[in-house]
Amino acid sequence: MKIIVTGGAGFIGSNFILYVMKAHPEDQIINVDCLTYAGNLENLVSVENEPNYKFAKIDIRDRKAVYQLFEDEKPDVVINFAAESHVDRSIDNPGVFVETNVNGTQVLLDACRKYGIKRYHQVSTDEVYGDLPLDRPDLFFTETTPIHASSPYSASKASADLLVGAYHRTFGVPVTISRCSNNYGPYQFPEKLIPLMIANAENGKELPVYGDGMNVRDWLYVEDHCKAIDLIVREGKVGEIYNIGGHNEMHNIDIVKIILKTLGKSEDLIRFVKDRAGHDLRYAIDPAKIHAELGWLPETMFADGIKKTITWYLDNRSWWENIVSGEYQNYYARMYGNR
Ligand code: NAD
Ligand code: DAU
C-alpha cells in the first residue's frame, strides 16, 4: 500500500510512521507536512533514508500542491494527522485552526474525490464531544454522543469531521474517522501538559496548573493510538467512526505530582494559575466498539507508559531543550506571563 501520512513530522504522526514502517515494511510511506512550529523531522532520522519513506514539504491548504502530489504518487490511503492541535493556541488565535483543520481537510477530501482513493482516514479527537460532568463517573463518550465542541480547536476538528462524513454520503469517498483521548509519549511538543511539566521540573521552573487541577483527562500511550489507527485503516468499516481510549482517567494535579515524584522534585514547584477559558471538565472514552469490532485493546498501562515517557525526555534532553530555548520562550511568556 502507498500511504500518505499528513502531519507526519508531529507528535502522533511521527510515532505512527515509526510504528507502521516496523509493522508493515512492505508499505510505502509519504510524509506530507509543512513543518509548522510543531513539525520536527528529527523525529524521523531513523527512517529518513529508507527506500519506502519519502518526505514532501507541502501545506495541506495548498490545493495545487496537494493535487500534484496525488497525480504523481497515486496513493492508496490518506491518513490525515495534520492539524493545529493545541487548545490554548486556538484561544489565542482561532483563524489558523479553521484554515488548517477545516479548509486543509477539505482540500484533501477534494483530492481523494478527484483522483480516487481506497481509504481516507481522519484522525479526530474526543474533544468534539465537548465535556462530561465531574460528578457523573458513569457517563462516557460513545460514537453516538452528540457533537458539542467547546474551544475553537475542538470546533474546527468537529467541522472537519462533518465534512468527512458529508464527502462519504454525498460523493461516496471511502472514509473512516477515529476519535481518541489524550495521548502521551515520546516526541510530544512541550506545550502540552506532560512534556511541559517534565521540562519545567527539570529546569527548576514553576509548574503552572490551570484552575484547581481537578479537570480529568483520559490518557493513552501514543503507540496504542497508532496501532488502533492502523487497524481501522486496514480492517475498519467504511463510513464508520471509532472512539479510541483506554479507560485511564486522571486528574491533572495527580499527573503533575507523579511527574514530580518520578523526577525526585518538590511539590513546592506547583503553582495554581488562572484557568483556561472554556476549560473542558472531563473526557472519558467508551472504547467498546473498537474492541468488539476490531479486537483492539490498549497494551501500555499508564504506570509503565509515564515512566517510559519521562525516561525518554531525560534521555533526549537536546530534543526539547532546542525547542524551549527558541521561539517557544515568546509563546511561554505570552501564555503564562500574566497568568
Ligand atoms: P502536533 O501539533 O504535534 O503535529 C501536527 C503536525 O501537523 C505538525 O507536524 C505540523 O507541522 C503539521 N501541520 C500543521 N499544519 C499543517 C498544514 N497546514 N499542512 C501540513 N502539515 C501541517 O499534533 P499531534 O498531537 O501529533 O496531533 C495529530 C492529530 O491527532 C491532530 O489532528 C490532532 O487533532 C489529533 N489528536 C491529538 C491528540 C493528542 O493528545 N495529541 C489526541 C487525539 C487526536
Ligand atoms: O483529548 C484529546 C486532545 O488532548 C487532543 O485533541 C489535543 O490535540 C491535545 O492537545 C489534548 O488537549 P488538552 O487540552 O486536553 O491537552 P493539554 O495537554 O493542553 O492539557 C491537558 C490538561 O492539562 C487540560 O485540562 C489543561 C491542563 N493544563 C495544560 C497545560 C498546557 C494545565 O493545567 N497546565 C498547562 O500548562
| Digit-coded pLDDT (tens) for 248-306 | 999 999 999 999 999 999 999 999 999 999 999 999 999 999 999 999 999 999 999 99
Measured between alpha carbons, how far is residue 7 from residues 18, 32, 47, 267 in Å? Answer: 13, 6, 16, 36
Q: Are 83 and 124 in contact (CB under 8 A)?
A: no
Contacts of 126 (CB under 8 A, 6+ apart): 141, 179, 180, 181, 218, 243, 245, 283, 285
Q: How far is the CA of 9 from the centre of ligand 1 (A)?
A: 9
Please state the rounded mean pLDDT for residues 324-333.
94
Q: Which ligand is nearest to the CA of 194?
A: 2
**Best CA proximity match to 121, nearest among 248, 282, 278, 6:** 6
- Give me the mean pLDDT over the 25-37 stretch: 98
Reported as a single tens digit per residue, the pLDDT across 148-199 is 999 999 999 999 999 999 999 999 999 999 999 999 999 999 999 999 999 9
Distance CA 30, CA 72 (A): 12
Backbone angles phi, psi at 315, to 5 degrees: -75, -20
Task: Decide which of 1.10.3720.10, 2.40.40.20, 3.40.50.720, 3.30.70.2190 is the CATH code for 2-185+219-248+278-301.
Answer: 3.40.50.720
Ligand 1 touching residue 123 (CB < 6 A): yes
In 3D space, the residue among 211, 214, 203, 56 whose CA is nearest the CA of residue 133 turns out to be 214
> Ligand 2 pocket: which residues have CB below 6 Å?
85-87, 125-127, 181-182, 192-193, 196, 208-210, 215, 217, 252, 276, 283
The ligand that comes nearest to the alpha carbon of residue 256 is 2
- With bands split at pLDDT 50, 70 and 90, how would you rate the model's confidence at 339? confident
Measured torsion, CA atoms of residues 10, 237, 60, 193, in degrees rounded to the nearest 10: -30
Distance from Cα 138 to the centre of ligand 1, integer Å = 30
> What's the Rg (C-alpha) of the chain?
19
Cβ(122) – ligand 1 distance below 6 Å: no
